[in-house]
Structures are given as C-alpha cells and as structure tokens.
Structure 1
Amino acid sequence: MNQDQNIKNRQALSPYKLAITRYIRSALALKGMKYDDLSAALNQKGITMTPENLRSKTHKGMFSADLFAAIIDVLGLEETALHEILKQTKDA
C-alpha cells in the first residue's frame, strides 16, 4: 500500500476511532466507572491491562477487535454498542 492510500485510510477511519473513544468514555462515566474499574473487570476475565494502558488505548481509539469486544462485554453493552457507535459516525 502506498503512502497516499495509507493517509486516505486513516482519514476514512478517523470518525470510527473518534466514535469508539467517545462511546467508551461515556459508557464508563454513565456506569460510574474509572479505568481502574475497567482494568479490574477485564482482569476477572483473565485479561491483564493496566488502567494507564486502557486510558491510552481509549484516548487514541486504538483497540484490537478482541480487546474492544471484551470491553463491550465487561461493560454489559453488547446490545447497544455497535448501533450507537455507527450512529455517531453517521452524525459526524
């Protein structure tokens, strides 16, 4: 892939990253959770992530698909997450 296509891909994916970041942050706030709590919840599933690492990944919107699915699972948002994230990208 050439550099121009790489830049175009990043630009095209930017609304998705932003929507995921906003969604995770707002979900944590609405549930009264902090990154420490999210880290502990993931740890109960055998996934070790520091709160700082989770905060960094959320800030950058850089999640692997499996980590994103695990976060949605531990937050109990599997029914609404994808719909809400895609809605935000369309509203942008």
Structure 2
Amino acid sequence: MDQTQSVNNRKAMTPYKQAIARYIRSAMMLKGLKYNDLAEKLEVVGTVMTPENLRSKVSKGMFSADLFVAIVQVLDVEDVALAEIIKQLD
C-alpha cells in the first residue's frame, strides 16, 4: 500500500473512531463511571490498564478489537453498542 492510500484509509476511519469514542464516554457517563471504575471492571476480567491509558485510548478511538469487546462487556452494553455506534455515522 502506498503512502497516499494509507493517509486516505486513516481519514476514512476517523468517523468510526470518533463514534466509538463518543459511545464509550456516553455509556460510562450514563452508568456514572469514571476511568478508574472502568479500569477496575476490566481488571476483574483480566485486563490491567491504568485509567490514564484508557482515557488516552478512548479519546483517540484507538484500541484493539479485543479491548473494545472487553469494554463493551464490562459496561454491559453488548446488546446495543454496535447499533448505537453505527447510528452516529448516519
């Protein structure tokens, strides 16, 4: 893949990253959770991350698919997360 295509791919993914970040922050707010709480919930399922690292990853919308799934699971929003994220893209 050439440099131009790589840049174009990053631009194309930006709306998805932003929608995911908004959704996670919204879900946390609705549940009254802070990043410390999210870190604790993730630790229960075996994923150890600092609140600062989570904040950074969420704000950039940059994390692996497996971390995204773990966050969705510990926030208990697996039934609606994907549909709600996609709605934001329309």
Post-superposition offset of 1:65 = 0.2
User: TM-score normalised to the size of structure 2?
Assistant: 0.98
Counterpart for residue 58 of structure 1: 58
Kindly, what percent of the aligned residue pairs are identical?
61
Post-superposition offset of 1:15 = 0.5
Aligned Cα RMSD in Å? Answer: 0.5
Counterpart for residue 30 of structure 1: 30
Cα distance in 2, alignment partners of residues 21 and 46 from structure 1: 22
Cα distance in 2, alignment partners of residues 89 and 13 from structure 1: 11
Cα distance in 1, alignment partners of residues 52 and 62 from structure 2: 14
Structure 2 counterpart SS, 1:43: helix
1:67 aligns with 2:64: no
Cα distance in 2, alignment partners of residues 27 and 21 from structure 1: 10
Counterpart for residue 2 of structure 1: 2
Give the letter aligned to residue 22 of structure 2.
Answer: R
Structure 2 gaps, min length 5 = none
Cα distance in 1, alignment partners of residues 83 and 36 from structure 2: 26
Alignment coverage as a number of residue pairs: 90
Post-superposition offset of 1:55 = 0.1
User: TM-score normalised to the size of structure 1?
Assistant: 0.96
Counterpart for residue 18 of structure 1: 18
Over residues 51-85 of structure 1, what are the superposed CA-to-partner deviations in whole Å (9 max), with x where a residue is unaligned?
A: 00000000110010000000000000000000000
